[in-house]
Amino acid sequence: MAGQKHALDEGEMDTPNVSPFMSMFEDFRKELDEHQDRRERIIKASRDITALSKKIIFSLQRVRHLQQAIPPPISKDITSRYDSIKDLFTSIAPDLQGINSWRYQKQISGGCQEFVEAISFHHYLETQRLITHAEAQALIPDGVELTTDDYVLGLFDLTGELMRFAITNIATSGTLPRGAATAGEESEGRDILMDLRAVRTNFETLDTSVGPNDYSYLKKDIQKKVEVMRQSVGKVEYAAYGMIIRGRERPKGWVPDLSEGQERGREAVESY
């Protein structure tokens, strides 16, 4: 009958209406929260590794000779930063185990590439050769894998630092940085331009059009990296040409007048 209220069954008011899927979605929520926390930890560590690696590179740019030990003040400075980077890698190693090493590859990739750039620059200054993948991996704590993509892309970035190192030496000393002669070489060792040209030649022959991984960062970034590398080598070539041609017009023992440049810079700042 309309308007008639039916009595509820006994105990119906005390029985909660809980979905059988609730516990499943609670597990999903927990897993997503853990994923987000893990991802943020890796991103923060990667950014800190990148910043510390850049500071190492800035310190190494103060070096002026090849195949010699890093001066003690610079070595002390960069050693503390290497220790900090090692601690950062160690802190996120548990988050990069198993399938997570690939799941979060994009988040850690930038830090790994910058670290490879720093250690390869350090290695080149002391030995005048490129660091190998195995040597680079040995400098990273266990539990963090250095992919071949990050290793190669880090070496691409190394050419930019070698260019700055060469240009600085040309501007301050009027010569290209050159290492000591080794067995099979002439009386003089290789200069940095010879090494840069060899790196350019080998990288230009690198074929990334084939391979099992269609989502490789190397395939994605290769064209841009190659173009920047060519520009870096070209800058050193033009600087060397200018040094040779104009050097003949300069008297023996000539050095740049750095004080004049400093005065012009000071006037520009004051006028600003």
Residue linked to tokens 């190492």: 56
Q: Pinpoint the alpha helices (H) of 100-178.
A: 100-103, 105-127, 133-138, 148-173
Q: What is the pLDDT of residue 268?
A: 43
**HSE (CB half, 13 Å, CA atoms) of 142?**
0
Report CA dihedral (188, 193, 194, 198) to the nearest 10 degrees: 160
pLDDT digits (tens, 9 = 90+) for 190-239: 899 999 999 999 998 887 765 555 556 677 788 889 999 999 999 999 98
Q: How confident is the model at residue 172 (pLDDT cuts 50, 70, 90)?
A: confident
Mean of the per-residue pLDDT values of the chain: 83
pLDDT for residue 29 is more than 80: no
Quote the pTM value: 0.79
Average pLDDT for residues 143-151, to the nearest whole number? 93
pLDDT for residue 91 is more than 60: yes
- Percent pLDDT > 90 in the chain is 52
pLDDT for residue 169 is more than 50: yes
Q: What is the pLDDT of residue 271?
A: 39
pLDDT for residue 269 is more than 50: no
